[in-house]
Amino acid sequence: MKAINLITLLLIIIGGINWLLVGVADFDLVATIFGGRESALTTIVYVLVGLSALYQLVPFFKALSVGEVAAESSTRHL
pLDDT at 72: 60
pLDDT digits (tens, 9 = 90+) for 7-61: 999 999 999 999 999 999 999 999 999 999 999 999 999 999 999 999 999 888 8
46-49 contacts at long range (C-beta below 8 A, 24 or more positions apart): 46/15, 48/11, 49/11, 49/12, 49/14, 49/15, 49/18
Rg, the chain, Cα only: 16
Q: Where are the domains of the chain?
A: 3-73
pLDDT at 50: 96
Quick check: 68 pLDDT over 80?
no
